[in-house]
Amino acid sequence: MQVLNEFAAVASRKLKLTYPDIRDFLTTIRAIILVEPLSLATHDSALALAERYGFSFYDALIMSSALQAGCDRLYTEDLQHGQVIEQRLIVQNPFADIS
């Protein structure tokens, strides 16, 4: 859920997409992925991850959501490639191997 939220914010603010365009894009994405809800447990886990690893709260919220969903890999260019979070979530920069 947090990734969808962040996309909507960036698409509106930086990409200047209209809300109908954002909604259309997100409707397509939501049809092909599993969306996990945010909960108090997600929030509490994110606070702990931010404190333990020094991440921003919003990055920690995405990691917390990924961990709770049982993901083993988090694709992002914003974090350290290869870092392992909580001994089971590997951060992978999808552009790291591109020369």
Q: What is the full DSSP assignment across 35-91?
A: -PPP-HHHHHHHHHHHHHH---HHHHHHHHHHHHTT-SEEE-SSS-TT-EETTTEEE
* pLDDT 10s digits, 45-78: 999 999 999 999 999 999 999 999 999 999 988 8
| DSSP state, residue 94 | T
81 with 91: CB under 8 angstroms?
Answer: yes
Task: Give the global pTM.
Answer: 0.80
Per-residue confidence (pLDDT) for residue 98, from 0 to 100: 64
Give the confidence band of 96 by pLDDT, cuts at 50, 70, 90: confident
- Distance CA(68)–CA(76), nearest Å, equals 18
Per-residue confidence (pLDDT) for residue 78, from 0 to 100: 84
* pLDDT 10s digits, 11-36: 999 999 999 999 999 999 999 998 98
